[in-house]
Structure 1
Amino acid sequence: KYKEFYKIKCYNKRNVCYYFKLNNILKGLLNMGYKNIRKIMEASEVIELLPLPDSLRKIKEQRDEEIRNVFNGTSDKFLVIIGPCSADNEDALCEYVRRLGKVQEKVKDKLILIPRIYTNKPRTTGEGYKGMLHQPSPEKEPNISDGILAIRKMHIRAIEVSGLTAADEMLYPENLAYMEDLISYHAVGARSVENQQHRLTSSCLDLPVGMKNPTSGDLSVMFNAIKAAQSGHNFMYRSNEVESTGNPYAHAILRGYVNRHGENMPNYHYEDLELALDFYEHRGLINPAFIIDTNHSNSRKRYYEQARIAKEVLYSRKYNSKLKKVIKGLLIESYLLPGFQEISDDMEFGKSITDPCLGWEESEELIYYIADNI
């Protein structure tokens, strides 16, 4: 209809100019939801530009096997997944993991330390700093193309300085192609655990994927996600139709929840752990395993409670032999300095700009306590 109307008016030069402008406005309205900013490099191009050296690839393969063995029951080592809420600064992050690598040598007979290098930050309302993938420099404008290069470079450097491969959050499944040769542990967050693509993508992986309980605290959602990840599926992935074999290392992360009054509530107490174990036993899932998140709603956003929470979980684990078998590790938010800070031009080195974290001294002390009490 609009084309016919436009053609009729084309006979008059003045009308041609007027309706040409109107047509452009209409096209703009149809596309106003987004605009293209820049083309992002293909994953193969990024990996070719920043390859993982063979010496580090061997470290990655060895670490992957050690971590898998914890979940399949052939190793009784305990996992400590520890690090900043978000990896916002390469130098600070690498200084943190360098220290963590030295501690790993001292506790290697009992613990496997997995640094948190979380490069995507989920935001409840979508506002605020979304992680290094989006903003390589927190105080500057977003640039995802530069962010992809920055996080890959940081992960590689972290392995070089510490000998440790890391955990990251699977916030965007399509980003795995850029990073999957670097990461040894994946977490699916409380807001993503119901998403079909996260579940199906997890079924493609041969590494542990922790499914957090949703913010509502509904355990059935988490266990449905684990069931989906442990099963094989036919679906569209990376522009291909694929068939996954299922991931036997998908497991549960208890992170607390938010009640109907908006209050943060814990689910790490002994009775909560018993209830969650009952869910596992009635679902017929393989390799039952829990990771307990000591922060977020479990700490009621009071980061300094993390050491106390960790100690309570270790006591529950000692008290109940079934729990000892299935509680495989702790998730702890920690950085060089305690607390958090706002983004500014004068930020403290190694202090969180998102959720507050334990400082290094408290974290190191807690790691040694965990090693002595598992």
Structure 2
Amino acid sequence: MSFSYSQKLPTPQEIKDEFPLPEELKKIKLERDKEIADVFTGKSDKFLVIVGPCSADNEEAVVDYVNRLAKVNDKVNDKIILIPRIYTNKPRTTGEGYKGITSQPDPEGETDFKAGLIAMRHMHIRAIKETGLTAADEMLYPENWGYVDDILSYVAIGARSVEDQQHRMTASGFDVPAGMKNPTSGYLTVMMNSIYAAQHPHSFTYRGYEVSTNGNPLAHCVLRGAQNKNGRNIPNYHYEDLSLVEQLYAENPGIMNPAVIVDSNHNNSGKMYKEQIRIVKEVLRSREHSNSIKKLVKGVMIESYIKEGSQKIGEGIYGKSITDPCLGWADTEELIYKIADLC
């Protein structure tokens, strides 16, 4: 057989029953969800900063990071909504390498999805309990949505997933914002089609059921840069790029709540993590230059951890990325305060 069945995984409800979200944390999530949704619908002019590690590989370090973020949040929450990145799934271009805590709870250990689902949920709940901040995660596997639908306040659909029908239709059933990234090719029409699809109702098969969705009016675009046919980076965070997306939204009246989040890393920075500081500042200057761009651009994504840069698995440096290199905490804190000053 081509498939080898290792173990039967618990259903989302079984995991939730074993690791429930306490009532007081449910209230926090509802409040956060409304506050974030108001940004996308235009009821709030606060600026979103989705910030945190490239991959959430270690619970202690990640929760430590989110606690630091919460202290900063207390000082800037009149202008900014901080959404910690707790990314528990990591897409890999070639399929090789660390794929996140959900599939590999110990980066140096074996794959174990059951233990990973438990580790993922435990980390998210602990972060909310200790900080009051609900998080963002990436939906790499659409069938895993049920394990996290009660704890996430933002979901990203990655550049390699955004063309996939199942990702688009699953996102149409979210009750939180879904950031649809432009594909690695950079074709913005693909991204716009994915936003339209996610915003509208669908019927499809999901986890052994026939299901239907109402559509997600909070689906929006995330600009993360692209690559040309020679593998060279093509950034798409400049003023001209933002104006083009504004035009594409205007040409698609079937899309509600036009919005852009700019991913300051990946192909926008060429994974030169320090460039994120400059890129974020340029995006904020573009917003200052045009009221329509200011209305369109709702926030930024920043890859950041406690220690700057990255390390190889096994080096054991606390709070340092084992995937893409990240900004360190000192630079991150300074950048957040700068964003607040400019918003």
Please indicate, yes or no, whether the TM-score normalized by the shorter chain is above 0.5.
yes
Deviation at 1:157, TM superposition (A): 0.4
58, 61, 80: which one pairs with 2:30? Answer: 61
Residues 232-243 of structure 1: matches in 2 within 5 Å?
Answer: 232-243=201-212
Give aligned pairs, total: 342
The corresponding residue for 1:211 is 180
After superposing on structure 2, the runs of 4+ consecutive aligned residues of structure 1 that deviate more than 3 Å are none
Q: How does 1:257-296 map to 2 (within 5 A)?
A: 257-284=226-253, 285-296=255-266
- Could you say which residue in structure 2 is the equivalent of 1:129? 98
Cα distance in 1 for residues equivalent to 2:196 and 2:19: 35
CA apart distance, 1:238: 2.9
Q: Which structure 2 residues correspond to residues 280-319 of structure 1 after superposition, within 5 A?
A: 280-284=249-253, 285-319=255-289
1:99 aligns with 2:71: no
Aligned-pair CA distance for 1:310: 0.2
Q: How do 1:124-163 residues align onto structure 2 when only pairs under 5 Å count? A: 124-163=93-132
| Residue equivalent to 2:81 | 112
| Residue 24 of structure 1: aligned partner | none
Equivalent-residue separation in structure 1 for 2:118 and 2:302 (angstroms): 27
Deviation of 1:109 after TM superposition, in Å, equals 0.5
Higher helix share: 1
Shift of 1:233: 1.1
Quote how far apart the aligned CAs of 1:244 are. 1.2
Counterpart pick for 1:74 among 43, 46, 68: 43
User: Following the alignment from structure 2 to structure 1, what is the Cα–Cα distance between the partners of residues 207 and 317?
Assistant: 40
CA–CA distance in structure 2, aligned partners of residues 89 and 165 of structure 1? 18
Matched AA of 1:146: A
SS of residue paired to 1:55: helix
1:34 & 1:236 partners in 2: Cα distance? 21
In the TM superposition, what whole-angstrom CA distance separates every residue of 1:216-252 from its partner, at most 9, and x where no partner exists?
Answer: 0000000000000111111112322222111100000
- Structure 1: runs of 5 or more not aligned: 1-30
The whole-number CA distance in structure 2 between the counterparts of 1:234 and 1:91 is: 40
Q: Which residue in 2 is equivalent to 1:168? A: 137
* Distance (Å, rounded) in 2 between the aligned partners of 1:42 and 1:227: 30
Q: Give the Cα separation in 1 of the matches to 2:122 and 2:174.
A: 22
How far 1:161 sits from its partner (Å)?
Answer: 1.4
Give the TM-score of the pair, scaled to structure 2: 0.99
Matched, 1:352 2:318: no
Task: Provide the C-alpha distance between the structure 2 equivalents of 1:79 and 1:114, rounded to a whole number of angstroms.
Answer: 7
* 1:84 aligned onto 2:33: no
Task: Give identity over the alignment, percent.
Answer: 59
* Aligned-residue CA RMSD (Å): 0.7
Partner SS, residue 122 of structure 1: coil
SS at match of 2:330: helix
Q: Which has the larger radius of gyration?
A: 1
Deviation digits for residues 147-198 of structure 1 (CA, Å, limit 9, x no counterpart): 0000000000011111100000011010011111000000000000000000
User: Partners in 1 of 2:151 and 2:114 — Cα distance?
Assistant: 18
Q: Measure, in 2, the Cα distance between the counterparts of 1:312 and 1:221.
A: 25
Question: How far, CA to CA, are the matches of 1:334 and 1:160 in structure 2?
Answer: 21
Deviation at 1:211, TM superposition (A): 0.2
Name stretches of at least 5 consecutive residues in structure 2 with no aligned partner: none
Residue 45 (structure 1) shift? 1.1
1:338 counterpart = 2:308: yes
C-alpha distance in 2 between matches for 1:143 and 1:246: 33
Aligned to 2:199: 230
**TM (normalized to structure 1)?**
0.91
Aligned partner of 2:6 in structure 1 is 37
- CA–CA separation in structure 1 for the residues paired with 2:68 and 2:115: 27
CA separation in 1, counterparts of 2:126 and 2:211? 33
Taking the aligned partners of 2:174 and 2:14, their CA distance within structure 1 comes to 22
Q: What is the CA–CA distance in structure 2 between the aligned matches of 1:173 and 1:234, rounded to whole Å?
A: 15
Q: Which amino acid aligns with 1:274?
A: S
Describe the SS at the equivalent of 1:210.
Answer: strand
- How much has 1:301 moved relative to structure 2? 1.3
Aligned partner of 1:244 among 189, 201, 213: 213
- Amino acid corresponding to residue 14 of structure 2 in structure 1: E
* CA distance, structure 1, for counterparts of residue 213 and residue 129 of structure 2: 32
